[in-house]
Every structure is written in structure tokens, then in C-alpha cells.
Amino acid sequence: MTEKQNWSVSPGQALRGEIEIPGDKSVSHRAVMFAALADGVSRIDGFLEGEDTRATAAIFSQLGVRIETPSSSQRIVHGVGVDGLRAPAGPLDCGNAGTGMRLLAGLLSAQNFDSVLVGDESLSKRPMRRIMDPLAKMGARIDSEPGGVPPLRIHGGQPIRGMDYTLEVASAQVKSAVLLAGLYAESETVVREPHPTRDYTERMLSAFGVEIEFSPGHARLRGGQRLRATDIAVPADFSSAAFFIVAASIVPGSELRLRAVGLNPRRTGLLIALRAMGADITEENRSEHGGEPVADLVVRHAPLHGIEVPVEIVPDMIDEFPALFVAAACATGNTVVRGAAELRVKESDRLASMAAGLRTLGIRVDETPDGATVLGGQIGSGAVDSHGDHRIAMAFSVAAQAASGKIEISDVANVATSFPNYDALARSVGFGSFTGS
Ligand code: S3P
């Protein structure tokens, strides 16, 4: 847990060394969920010890699943089978995690008991109609607060019907909620996506023995199947690595190796964008880790120039825009982002949070409804608000490494939701000090 509420981050030195990034958040959430639903005992290695994923594990304990923690980043999950979850005694707290809440809504809407999903202040403002509407078409009954926000009151005991559904927003969370409800349907469920999104649900259901047909932009499964316990090795989270990739790119003299980072193509749009900007990133020791491509990333400082980010890679880098905006602020010329309105409904409005902070630091940013244009320049010192958003906080700590002085960042405790001990790891490779209160 990050104890400090605020950081004052100083510029540091050239970034050097070799580091291991914690486990992938998306994969860790799903590993606990599917292991809980499986018949038999599954072991998870590389589990992310973040607040979001721990919240999901705690919820499954409330649902009657025994989960052991033999050591940090390991879990042994005693699966109860698709029909073995028990009614919880109270509300289920998803914390800050949109993934946790949306996937659980799909799963819980097909159980024979009622449940209530709650979240923290940020999650309590995030849109849930995107899952409530398709799940209602399948027969689910979910009530929200006015405006379609949590808490979600899920009425169990509803018969779930399969359906053929085309996503209205490019969202792996919505796709996954529908597929999880579809596991309980009598007929088949098909999900079609205008833009392919991350496919961990499909890959992992298949690893748990579910017959599921999938290709980019399409998934199909038959209801009534059981899951078979399996062991899961969680790769290092590319989205957490992104902050170090950008930091090493923008700080002169840097050469940093990030060991065995997950490189699922639906996650690595940032590599395409940064390379187009002139970044020097090489991949070494390519291998597979739990069915996912992984490689060491070696990042060396390189001068960056602005680009127009191709709209088609936006879903493949949706969590990486805070980091990309910092790279853009250090590049020569304009970087133009379009087609990224989804950023407005993440843990904060990330277009507004980044634009406001960068402007405070002397960088010109012109915001549009679905993107922004950033004109690179010298990042100054100043005080910025992370809006309680872990990725905004980390992005500005990276900005501090190229800044003319300290950057004060408020409301950073949520860094622990995805990246426990981020500040210590950053310091160990050459970031300046993180002081604060
Ligand atoms: C996630 C999907 C993405 C991403 C989030 C994790 C997932 O959200 O932003 O951090 O694990 O499925 P959307 O699918 O809603 O874009």
C-alpha cells in the first residue's frame, strides 16, 4: 500500500538497470474469478498484489471460495464449480476496479442469489449501463443508482438467455460480462466487436477447458459448460511497464531492461506509437508465459517527435494514454490523439486530468471531445492533481524526470490499486526522490 497521499517528485538521473514489473491486473482478476468457478484446485503465480485484484479475491472469499496465499503473488484457489458460489452476507466491495465490478456483474446476474456490488468514490461515478443493457437483454435484472452508476443491485434467480450481441463501445469489460453471463445460458452467446479488444477472458476460459471460439473482434461460446482447474502464470503488466518505457525514452543517457513483460498484441499499441515517435525499444528473449507472448524490453533514451496516433490502435493502448501524453510533452512538434473518448470514463477523465496537469507545467494542450493535441516543450515544475487516478499519478512522476524542477502530485494513494511499491522501484533505477505526506 502506498502510504503517502501526496508526492513531491524530483528529477533524477539517467535510468539504468534491470527490473521486474508486477503481475498483469486484467489477467490476475480473471485468474481468481475463473479458478473460483472451476472444478478443482488452481494455483496462480505472479498474481498482482494490488488493491484492485485483492478486492476481487476478497469478494470470492465472501462468495464461499477458499483462497490460500502461500506467499506473496501466489494464490491457491479451491474452485467450487460454476454452480457452487454461495450468497454473500453483505455488499461486495470492488474498490477502485471497473474490471472487477463489470465482470462480476455478468457472473452474479446468472446466480440464484441476490448480490450488491459497491465501489469507491471513483468507481461509484463510472458508467454501468454499458453492461446493464446487454445483460438485461440476456434476462438479467440489475438496478443501479440514477444515471446508471453503482451500487449495482443484482437480482438472482433469473433465467439467462444467450444472444448475438455487437458491442457499442470497444470494451473488453463489456464483452467479458456478456460472455460470463453466457456461460450460464441455455443457448449460445456471440459477441462481435467493431474494434477488437483484449482477449484474456477468451484465452483464459479456453485454458480452463471451456469450448470457446474466438478471433479478433469475435467470440462465441455455448452455455452450460464447466471449467476445469488449471494453473495460471500471470505475465508482467504491460500497462505498468509503460511508465518505465516512457521514462527511459525521455531521460537522456537511460538504458533500462524490463524483464519478461506481457506483450499481448491487444495491449501493446503504445510500442507502435512510441516507435513511430522515434523511441528505441528492443525486444529480447521472446518466449511464452501462461500462453501469453512475453519478452524483455530494452529501452534506451532517444529524441522523440510528435505523431498523429493512428485511431485503429487506440483500443490497444487505452490504458497507456497518460504515459503517452508525457512522451508527447517531451517530443518535438505536435502529437494528435483522436477517437479516444473512452478516456473520459476511466478512473478519472484522463483527457481532462492530463491536459490540466500538463498545462500547469507549461505544456500546450488543446483538448477535443475525443482527444487532444499536445505540443512538446520543456516541462516545468508545479503542482498537479491526479484526481485519485493511479495512472495519472504515475504519469506525472515520469514527467518529473524530464522537468526543470519538482512536481507536486496530489491524491496518489490509489497507485497501490495497480502498482504496489511503484515509488521504490522507480527510485531504484534512478528516479529522483518521492517525498510527501
Ligand atoms: C480491462 C479493459 C479495459 C481497460 C481496463 C482493464 C479489462 O477497459 O481500460 O483497465 O481487464 O478487461 P475497457 O474494456 O472498458 O476499455
Summarised one tens digit per residue, pLDDT across range 395-421 is 999 999 999 999 999 999 999 999 999
Same domain, 225 and 318: no
Q: Both 255 and 276 in a single domain? A: yes
Number of domains in the chain: 2
In this predicted model, what pLDDT tens digit does every residue of 307-330 receive, in sequence order? 999 999 999 999 999 999 999 999
**350-364: pLDDT as tens digits:** 999 999 999 999 999
69 plus 19 within the same structural domain: no
- Residue 25, annotated ligand binder? yes
Same domain for 261 and 384? yes
Using an 8 Å Cβ cutoff, are 396 and 363 in contact? Answer: no
Q: How many CB atoms lie within 10 A of CB 433?
A: 15
pLDDT of residue 3: 54
* Ligand 1 center to 173 CA (angstroms): 5
The residue whose CA has the least distance to atom 10 of ligand 1 is 319
258, 338, 373, 375 from 307: Cα distances, Å:
25, 12, 10, 10
Same domain, 322 and 228: no
Does residue 430 form part of some domain?
A: yes
Classify residue 74: in a domain, yes or no. yes
**Both 372 and 278 in a single domain?**
yes
DSSP secondary structure code for residue 88 in this structure? -
For 239-281, the pLDDT digits (tens) are 999 999 999 999 999 999 999 999 999 999 999 999 999 999 9
Give catalytic residue positions.
319
Of 282, 435, 306, 433, the closest CA to residue 366 belongs to 306
Cell digits of residue 334: 505536435
Helix (DSSP H) and strand (DSSP E) numbers for the chain: 12, 24
| In a domain? residue 59 | yes
Å from CA of 14 to ligand 1 middle:
32
pLDDT score recorded for residue 437? 78
CATH, residue 187: 3.65.10.10
Statement to judge: residues 201 and 302 lie in one domain: no
Ligand 1 pocket check for 264: Cβ under 6 Å: no
Our mutation pick for probing the ligand 1 site, out of 128, 130, 198, counting the most ligand atoms within 8 A of Cβ, is 198
171-201 pLDDT, tens digit each: 999 999 999 999 999 999 999 999 999 999 9
Q: Which domain holds residue 342?
A: 6-23+236-436
Q: Which of 233, 256, 279 is the last residue of a domain?
A: 233
393 lies in some domain: yes
Given a cut of 90, is residue 291 above it in pLDDT? Answer: no
Same structural domain, 310 and 407: yes
- Does ligand 1 have an atom closer than 6 angstroms to the CB of 172? yes
Instruction: Assess whether 268 and 379 both reside in one domain.
Output: yes
Confidence of residue 290 (pLDDT cuts 50, 70, 90): confident
Same-domain status, 128 and 250: no
For 33-128, where are the E strands, in sequence order? 38-45, 66-68, 74-80, 92-93, 115-118
Both 248 and 173 in one domain: the answer is no
pTM: 0.97
Residue 293: name the closest of 236, 214, 253 by CA.
Answer: 236
Domain closes at, from 210, 233, 256 = 233
In a domain, 1, yes or no: no
User: Does ligand 1 have an atom closer than 6 angstroms to the CB of 26?
Assistant: yes
Domain boundary among 201, 233, 265: 233
Report the percent of the chain where pLDDT is more than 70. Answer: 99
What's the 253 CA to ligand 1 centre distance in angstroms?
34
Please give the span between the terminal C-alpha atoms of the chain, in angstroms, as a whole number. Answer: 14
Ligand 1 neighbour 386 (Cβ under 6 A):
no
Ligand 1 atom at shortest distance from the alpha carbon of 198:
12
Instruction: Please tell me if the CB atom of residue 179 comes closer than 6 angstroms to any atom of ligand 1.
Output: no
Q: Say what the pLDDT of residue 190 is.
A: 98
Is 171 annotated in a binding site? The answer is yes
Same domain, residue pair 324 and 242: yes
* pLDDT given at position 1: 40
